Amino acid sequence: MLTLTAVAIFPIAFVSYVIVRDEIRNVTRSIDFETRDAAQSAQARFSRLLDQRQLKAVTAAGSPQLQAALRRHDTESLARFARRKRLLIEVRGHSYGRRLENAVAARAQLVSGGRQIGAVVAQLPTDQALLRQLSAGAANGVQLAYVGTEAAPQAGRGVTLPLAPQVGVRAFLPAGVVSHRKNAAYIRVIEAGLLALVALMLLTLVLARPLLRAFRWTEQQASEARIDSLTGLANRRAVEEILAAEISRAHRFAHQLAVVLLDLDRFKEINDSFGHAAGDVMLRGVSRLLTSLARQGDTVARWGGEEFVVVLPETDLAGAQRFAERLRRTIEAHAVGEMKTSASCGVATMLQEDSVEDLIGAADQALYQAKSNGRNRTESALRGHSPAAA
């Protein structure tokens, strides 16, 4: 009994180690997502507020009242206008209005008589009130703080994004909160491990060998990731296995099988314009759209980069074309924040002699044709069918 129990402890300890490692990794990923989401939201809100200040400065610069005061060189009117509008007016080396410390300036040129004579400045103070406004909707426990280019980051795990020159925002979880979350993960695993150990001690005599095989299988499953970490969809390895099984089932029951290969158009421009973090947000948004439009029994996977694949069992060419068009139109109409994209789709249906590579290759050729024909369209592989281009 003691020997068998000792044998059982080692697999339990090893599996507990694997689970702890994965739990801590999941906690870390969750923290990174929460802080990055809070920082990106704060950055977007700050940009909108600064745009409003810019519009206010431009409107004030063209105000007839201000232009009249400039023509008269009426300094008192300039000062009153600046105070009433809460602006800073800089004219011919003189300033009217209050200059705020620790504020980001939105400037508009001040023109009179066809010459630039100064500027109208709308100031956005980077104070605690603004910080509270930027942090609205942040995940529980996530804190925001201003940082400069030379400022040391606050203690804890977080993300820093720029707001304006020399000013950034850092979203972070304090070190105490991070430790609490990790400790909670440890406790969950320890409790589960103790319960499993008690159960194993009761069952070791009759189930020792099956349990050892089960532990080996668990270890193998833990080490073989089949889910794309960014989107939560099946990854390329998983969809190849699923597609092989669907081809076998289609042969056995004489069903049709279709594949849609989808590629986001000009995705590099999104990364270049908004940053790779925004590109990741776009990929997650598209993956949610694809999942919401798929039927029960369909498989949606990330093929790689900005390419996605949808496996459609018991679907003919016309049905696959309609489904691909629905995906394309939905993606084209959907915006993620200020970002929009479109998609090119390649559709292929299975022939009797097809392997996984043949079917995917046919869909890839159709996708290439859609890209060549101008993008944001659907093309079908010519493989014994009459193709239809949308």
Exposure of 221 by Cβ count < 10 A (0-12 exposed, 13-18 middle, 19+ buried)?
A: exposed
Of 323, 364, 362, 327, give the one whose Cα is nearest residue 342: 327
Give the three-state DSSP class for 165: coil
Strand order in the sheet with 143-147: 143-147, 167-173, 157-164
Q: In what order do the strands lie in the sheet with 94-96?
A: 94-96, 88-91, 115-125, 103-112
Alpha carbon distance 169, 137 (integer Å): 15
Per the annotation, the verdict on 306 as an active-site residue is: yes
Name the catalytic one among 34, 306, 307, 379.
306
Quote the CA–CA distance of 198 and 204 in Å, as a whole number: 10
Helices (H) and strands (E) in the chain — how many of each?
A: 10, 14
DSSP string, 309-336: EEEEET--HHHHHHHHHHHHHHHHH-EE
CA 346 to chain centre: 25
Are 303 and 309 contacting, i.e. CB atoms less than 8 angstroms apart? Answer: yes
Measured between alpha carbons, how far apart are the two ends of the chain, in Å?
Answer: 70
Distance of CA 20 to the CA centre of its chain: 26
Within the chain, strands assigned E span: 88-91, 94-96, 103-112, 115-125, 143-147, 157-164, 167-173, 257-264, 299-304, 307-313, 335-336, 339-340, 343-349, 378-380
Q: Which residues are catalytic?
A: 306
